[in-house]
Amino acid sequence: MALPYTHHYDLSFSALNLKKFDSSHLQPICCLRCNSSVSSSPFTEKQSLQRYQRDQWVYNNNNQQWPSLSCGDEAASCSVPADSDSIRLNDITLQLPELRKLLQVLKHKRESCGGQVPKNGLGDVFLVGTGPGDPDLLTLKAVKVIQKADLLLYDRLVSNAVLDLVGPDARLLYVGKTAGYHSRTQEEIHELLLSFAEAGATVVRLKGGDPLVFGRGGEEMDFLQQQGIQVKVIPGITAASGISAELGIPLTHRGIANSVRFLTGHSRKGGTDPLFVAENAADPDSTLVVYMGLSTLPSLAQKLIHHGLPPDTPATAVERGTTPQQRMVFAELKDLADKIKTAELVSPTLIIIGKVVALSPFWPQSLTEASRLVEV
């Protein structure tokens, strides 16, 4: 059943919700201070210098003076005011002139193409999964679509190596989200997709992993289809598959794990205890994969053990899996949260819990444990 969306957000860019924001206090991007102490990341971290340079076209109207990368780190983050809502509104306001201009260019392109555009004049929207980070894991279809796009809206967890594949004439726009900072609300993303599709553009929505696995791709697809926009989904290798393969962990294995379950560590309303499914998930014959679960792992581990999962169940946590910056820790379930804290793993980190983890060549007792499991 379709969700009851209402078209309340006019992204002809004349009705952005900026009434409470005083544009006289706009901060130019060149005022942001580069912080070279931030470690290199394969992804687009919030307020990173790399993000602003990649999206430079959308700030051109403001005659920005772009700082160089001499601060020592291409992925360095920039110091910004603590009010994340003001940052977001400031960013959107700076982008508006060029977004309006691009809309007009694309509309003119559509009108001048004659019969080369669909009869209804609408463009296509592609929801493209880019996998866990390694560009070699992209599908051929994804690469083709990425290279022919007019506009690409990309998330935080689309790796820099994937973004390097974008065609020279395409425009990139960051719409990523991280804890405490959403560069665009979900409703604003919907309307951006709709506005440019209505202008006849080929719009690509780039998402890390698979767009329909904890990626909110279903919401975007449903919204656009209700507005008459054709949406095509190009699947990506979800983190569970890509990272488990990287570590040599079979998510299922005859006689050891007869099923696999994907969980999100986030609750819809926030908080530290979204894991109401722990009772059903505590199955020693299943593999449990937790996305976005760093902050809630201590609670999850306790609940799983309380509901019958053995405390010595093998488990692993993998930060930035499949990228050159990959880091991982292995431990029994009861010790995993402490190991993660000691290693100071950061988001994105995937957690895999189950007996199959002991089959990995990286498991400390891999040969002995694997032999014992197979015998059992």
Mean pLDDT over the full length of the chain: 80
The H or E element containing residue 300 is: helix 297-306
Last residue of a domain, one of 167, 202, 237: 237
Q: Cα angle at 142 between 231 and 204, to 5 degrees?
A: 45
pLDDT the model gives residue 269: 57
Positions marked active-site: 155, 177, 292
Q: Whole-angstrom distance between the N-terminal and C-terminal Cα of the chain?
A: 46
pLDDT band at 372 (very low <50, low <70, confident <90, very high): low
- What is the Cβ-side half-sphere exposure of residue 78, based on CA atoms within 13 angstroms? 24
Q: Cα angle at 70 between 68 and 71, to 5 degrees?
A: 105
* Structural domain span for residue 287: 240-359
Residues 229 and 298 in one domain: no
Residues 312 and 231 in one domain: no
Residue at 212 is within a domain: yes
How far apart CA 57 and CA 46 sit, in angstroms, is 18
Q: Give percent of the chain with pLDDT exceeding 90.
A: 53
For residue 260, the 8-state DSSP code is E
Residues 156 and 244 in one domain: no
Helix (H/G/I), strand (E/B), else coil: 329: strand
Query: What is the number of other CB atoms lying within 10 angstroms of the CB of residue 174?
Result: 23
- Of the candidates 139, 119, 120, the one whose C-alpha atom is nearest the C-alpha of residue 130 is 139
Residues 125 and 176 in one domain: yes
Residue at 127 is within a domain: yes
Residue at 336 is within a domain: yes
Burial 43-62 (b: 16+ CB within 10 A, else e): bbbbbbbbbbebbebbbeeb
Which residues, 6+ apart, have CB-to-CB distance to 107 below 8 Å?
199, 200
How far apart CA 207 and CA 41 sit, in angstroms, is 17
Which residues, 6+ apart, have CB-to-CB distance to 372 below 8 Å?
none
How far apart CA 25 and CA 46 sit, in angstroms, is 21
Helix (H/G/I), strand (E/B), else coil: 314: strand
Residues 350 and 258 in one domain: yes
For residue 147, the Cα-to-chain-centroid distance in whole angstroms is 20
Residues 244 and 355 in one domain: yes
Last residue of a domain, one of 237, 260, 295: 237
CB 285 within 8 A of CB 310: no
pLDDT the model gives residue 6: 42
- Structure tokens belonging to residue 168: 């020279």
- Counting the structural domains of the chain, the total is 2
pLDDT the model gives residue 20: 41
- Out of 15-29, 30-44, 129-143, 169-183, least confident range: 15-29
CATH of the domain at 271: 3.30.950.10
Residues 272 and 300 in one domain: yes
Residue at 75 is within a domain: no
Residues 132 and 193 in one domain: yes
Residues 274 and 309 in one domain: yes
Residue at 300 is within a domain: yes
User: How large is the angle between the packed helices 217-226 and 186-198, nearest 10 degrees?
Assistant: 40
- pLDDT greater than 70 at residue 76: no
Residue at 189 is within a domain: yes
Helix (H/G/I), strand (E/B), else coil: 209: strand
- Out of 21-25, 115-119, 135-139, least confident range: 21-25
Residue at 86 is within a domain: no
Q: Give percent of the chain with pLDDT exceeding 70.
A: 74
- Of the candidates 330, 285, 277, 272, the one whose C-alpha atom is nearest the C-alpha of residue 304 is 277
Amino acid present at 358: A
CATH of the domain at 162: 3.40.1010.10
Tens-digit pLDDT profile for residues 252-298: 999 999 999 999 887 655 554 555 667 778 899 999 999 999 989 99
Which residues, 6+ apart, have CB-to-CB distance to 99 below 8 Å?
13, 58, 173
Tens-digit pLDDT profile for residues 333-360: 999 999 999 999 999 999 999 999 999 9
Mean pLDDT of 219-239: 96
Residue at 74 is within a domain: no
Residues 294 and 228 in one domain: no
Residues 227 and 315 in one domain: no
CB 321 within 8 A of CB 208: no
Residues 323 and 337 in one domain: yes
- Out of 81-95, 128-142, 349-363, least confident range: 81-95
